[in-house]
């Protein structure tokens, strides 16, 4: 699938938003956007770092090189156990650690931003069309916030992350057939866009960078 085909068939995903701690900004400028797994490798992957990142992170983690990895407070093992299909909580954490996450909807971005208000945040606004032109083969979409397992969480598993090209062809059937869940409408919008492992050239797609103050929201 070419970039031209992606843009023609899916004009709705035009912007992608990435939220990061301001402490990570210099690393992002130098290395791009990295998954938690890739951040471990960048830090030298000490045993202490691996122990703190690969298991459930109840609190934010600062790696040995000063890079911050977000907490996983909204998805404790007990809550995940009730909604996972074909996976254990440990396997789910490992899967999420391989992905770079983007919000597509600015309202979801702002909810995440306010949840992280204890520490200064940076919002990167990216041209999703150009991002997907280069990285569509490693991209996937998900129909809900996969980082939250509270408040009647949706069933989830590996098939929750629908390969981008598959989603363009058949909507959410990949999720439905893989997890045995109720069918979603083709019009159901993605909540998240993910790219496996890393987006080292992320700065090539940046349209805007914002440093919202405490309590501030971001406009689309």
* C-alpha angle 138-142-146 in degrees, rounded to nearest 5: 110
Asked whether residue 219 is domain-assigned, the answer is no
pLDDT at 5 over 50: no
Residue 15 and residue 107 in contact, taking contact as beta carbons nearer than 8 Å: no
pLDDT score, position 1: 42
Answer whether 0.85 is exceeded by the pTM: yes
Q: What is the residue whose two structure tokens read 């058949």?
A: 170
* pLDDT tens figures, 112-161: 999 999 999 999 999 999 999 999 999 999 999 999 999 889 999 999 99
Q: Which of 70, 87, 103, 69 is nearest to 194 (CA)?
A: 103
Of the candidate ranges 16-30, 45-59, 123-137, 139-153, the one whose mean pLDDT is the lowest: 45-59
- List the beta strands (DSSP E) in 49-132: 61-62, 68-69, 99-103, 121-127
Residue 35 and residue 197 in contact, taking contact as beta carbons nearer than 8 Å: yes
Asked whether residue 215 is domain-assigned, the answer is no
Asked whether residue 75 is domain-assigned, the answer is yes
User: pLDDT class for 12, splitting at 50, 70, 90?
Assistant: low
Structurally, the chain folds into a number of domains equal to 1
Mean pLDDT of 174-189: 93
For 199, the domain range is 3-210
Asked whether residue 74 is domain-assigned, the answer is yes
Task: Give, for 176, the enclosing helix (H) or strand (E).
Answer: helix 173-179
Residue 206 and residue 128 in contact, taking contact as beta carbons nearer than 8 Å: no
Residue 125 and residue 209 in contact, taking contact as beta carbons nearer than 8 Å: yes
Query: What is the chain's mean pLDDT, rounded?
Result: 91
Residue 74 and residue 146 in contact, taking contact as beta carbons nearer than 8 Å: no
pLDDT score, position 6: 44
* pLDDT tens figures, 86-99: 999 999 999 999 99
Asked whether residue 108 is domain-assigned, the answer is yes
Residue 55 and residue 93 in contact, taking contact as beta carbons nearer than 8 Å: yes
């Amino acid at each position: 699938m070419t970039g031209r085909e992606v843009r023609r068939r899916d004009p709705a995903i035009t912007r992608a938003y990435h939220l990061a701690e301001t402490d990570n900004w210099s690393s992002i400028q130098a290395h791009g956007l990295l998954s938690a797994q890739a951040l471990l490798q960048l830090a030298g992957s000490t045993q202490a770092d691996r122990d703190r990142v690969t298991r459930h992170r109840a609190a934010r983690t600062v790696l040995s090189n000063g890079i911050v990895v977000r907490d996983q407070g909204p998805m404790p093992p007990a809550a995940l156990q009730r909604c996972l299909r074909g996976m254990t909580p440990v396997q789910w954490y490992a899967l999420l650690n391989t992905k770079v996450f983007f919000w597509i909807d600015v309202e979801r971005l702002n909810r995440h931003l306010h949840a992280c208000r204890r520490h200064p945040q940076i919002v990167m606004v990216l041209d999703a069309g150009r991002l997907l032109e280069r990285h569509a083969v490693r991209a996937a979409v998900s129909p809900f916030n996969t980082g939250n397992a509270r408040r009647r969480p949706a069933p989830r598993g590996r098939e929750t992350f629908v390969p981008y090209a598959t989603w363009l062809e058949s909507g959410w059937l990949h999720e439905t057939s893989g997890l045995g869940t109720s069918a979603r409408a083709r019009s159901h919008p993605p909540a998240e866009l993910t790219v496996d492992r890393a987006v080292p050239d992320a700065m090539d797609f940046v349209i805007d960078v914002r440093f919202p103050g405490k309590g501030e929201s971001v406009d689309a």
